[in-house]
Amino acid sequence: MGHYIANLRDIEFCLFDLLDRDSILGTSIYKDIDRATAMGMLEEIKRLAEKDLADSFVDGDRMGVDFDPATGDAKLPPSFIKSYRAYIDNGWGLIDAPVEVGGTLIPPSLRWAIAEMVLGSNPSVHIYASGFSFAHVAYALGNEKQKQLAKIMVEKDWGATMMLTEPEAGSDVGAGRSKAVEQPDGTWHITGTKRFITSGDSDLNENLIHFVLARPEGAGPGTKGLSLYLIPKFMFDFGTGALGKRNGVYVTKVEHKMGLNVSATCEMNLGEKEPAVGYLLGDVHNGIAQMFKVIEFARMMVGTKAIATLSAGYQQALSYAKTRVQGGDMKVMNDKASPRVSIIHHPDVRRSLMTQKSYSEGMRALVLYTASIQDAIAIAKADGAPADKVDDLIALNDLLLPIVKGYGSEKSWTLLGTESLQTFGGSGFTQDWPLEQYVRDAKIDTLYEGTTAIQGLDFFFRKIVKDGGRAIGLLAKEITKFADSGGNNVDEKKALVKGLEDANGIIAVLIGHAVASQEKSDEIYKVGLNTSRLLMAIGDVIIAWLLLREADIAAAKLPTATGKDIDFYNGKIASSKYFVYNFLPLITAERAIVEAENGAIMELSESAF
């Protein structure tokens, strides 16, 4: 067995007990999928993830990317290529491809449950396979020729990249300088330099399609002036996909990183050696809106990757704690003759394990709950539901994405280092165990596709203020309805209401500062100092809500449970209570901090830091 242990029991519980995915299977656009089919897919990906994909996890890290600066070509370890081919050749990339060009239609909830196991086992396999999801964008937004390109991308397993970042612009995408000039034949020549481009080159695919933001000649400043171009590594025949000459897009550098080393993060030059020929997506200049179709998918993926890694870290820590014998029981620690015990008997280790368990299972529920909203959007659109219902679902999904990405990545990174690795003591700091690689690989999740700070700003200004509080109000209504439902865990549900009240209190204070900034501009700093704090608080409320819902279900099933299910359900109840009493009270303190914010550090001289 490799390093990875999938938690399929909890995935199944989330999908079918918590989220009742049985209710959508066999209906509407998912009429051809039943529970048995879904579970068969999950069981097969579990087997693939734990063996074929996990096999090259360490090799990918130790060997990394072999880059030839003379040719601009990147090569990957043979063992990793074998893992990638096992994923693609078994048809798993097709779950992201358009049905119209040979893709497999499954609910997003099932799709992201599958992705968790791939991302937890060997995340770069999933990342390199993104050509299928990019093909979806080309098909949905492209002209007829670009729809044909999408078909070729799927049939021939062509890779893809998203090119936003530039060396000087960084996260300020609108400051990008890459330029596009239209040619008489309707193509465009693009010039510029892009940085931090994931999967910029490899020997996995015969061709790559780069989705590149550039500013057409004469376009205005900022993000509104950007357009999205499809730039192939090799020119090709749109009818057959046959490759032609090399296009003018080259890797000039592969970054040396602290983790995720088999993922080629590249600096790319466009148009220096020969013209970089590109095609305007959909023949329309609407680049940033089009690219956000890719960005939204990428943010969901990043959050799922982070949470999957935390789950893997917890499974490793739990296994180690059950077998590592060290010290005596604390009750008799002064008795040197007392028997030595496994470290799971020590109180602080149990505290750590329950912290890992509650967060990893709660954030899995967060990912799959968000995916269930995506299920509902797809069904509502297919069934012709009223526009206001579709709009509400889209707004709720938009609200949840920065929580999945920002909260999920931040909590996972922190817990992997401070709890999962810590469980191993000094052994965790060695390469004898996978934890140090998990920690290194997971750090990028808080950084790319928008840092945690950017997610916090997006969450408050776009998903709450610009939305007029609609989505956050819908979510709060659902949480309150559950909290008022009575039944089990009455005291814990009261604590949930208190946590929600405090989180809403933080929102109210920040809105007050935002309004005040219209008269006194410095007031906006008080918002900026606390948007990440708000993101974390709302994340904790949602996790508590989902864990308590799971606990109610577990309590109902427990009287008739047998075998391992008894421990599973008791664990669900225990982790929900632990989370509620250990983490929800902290939101009260966070609210007090926000209410006391005076923005003083923004007035401090730079030299005082």
Set 50, 449, 492, 590: catalytic member: 449
Our measurement of the distance from residue 453's CA atom to the centroid of its chain's CA atoms, rounded to an integer in Å, reads 16
In the block, tokens 């299928």 appear at 132
- Gap between the Cα atoms of 44 and 37, Å rounded: 11
- Gap between the Cα atoms of 307 and 367, Å rounded: 8
- Gap between the Cα atoms of 235 and 244, Å rounded: 5
- Closest to 215 measured CA to CA, from 263, 182, 238: 182
Residue 113 C-beta-side C-alpha neighbours within 13 Å:
30
- Gap between the Cα atoms of 172 and 174, Å rounded: 5
449 is catalytic: yes
Phi, psi (deg, nearest 5) at residue 188: -130, 145
- Please tell me what DSSP assigns to residue 121: H
Rounded to 5°, the CA angle 299-300-305 comes to 95
Torsion of CA 144, 149, 152, 154, to 10 degrees: -100
- Gap between the Cα atoms of 55 and 318, Å rounded: 21
> Which H or E element spans position 396?
helix 387-402
CB 493 within 8 A of CB 473: no
Q: Encoding tokens for residue 315? A: 């499974």
> Which H or E element spans position 265?
strand 265-270
- Please tell me what DSSP assigns to residue 90: T
Cα distances from 572 to residues 13, 117, 547, in angstroms, run 10, 21, 7
Our measurement of the distance from residue 487's CA atom to the centroid of its chain's CA atoms, rounded to an integer in Å, reads 34
> Which residues have C-beta within 8 Å of that of residue 481, sequence separation ≥ 6?
none
CB 439 within 8 A of CB 379: no
- Closest to 515 measured CA to CA, from 461, 471, 476: 461
- Closest to 281 measured CA to CA, from 215, 189, 211: 211
> Which H or E element spans position 313?
helix 287-323
Cα distances from 500 to residues 187, 415, 592, in angstroms, run 53, 23, 14
344, with CB counted inside 10 A (0-12, 13-18, 19+), is middle
Q: Other CB atoms closer than 10 Å to residue 285's CB: what's the count? A: 17
- Gap between the Cα atoms of 191 and 212, Å rounded: 11
> Which residues have C-beta within 8 Å of that of residue 456, sequence separation ≥ 6?
402, 406, 531, 532, 533, 534, 535
* Residue 229 Rama label (left phi>0; alpha psi -120 to 50; beta): beta
- Please tell me what DSSP assigns to residue 339: P
CB 140 within 8 A of CB 293: yes
**How many residues does this entry show for the chain?**
609
Residues designated as active site: 449
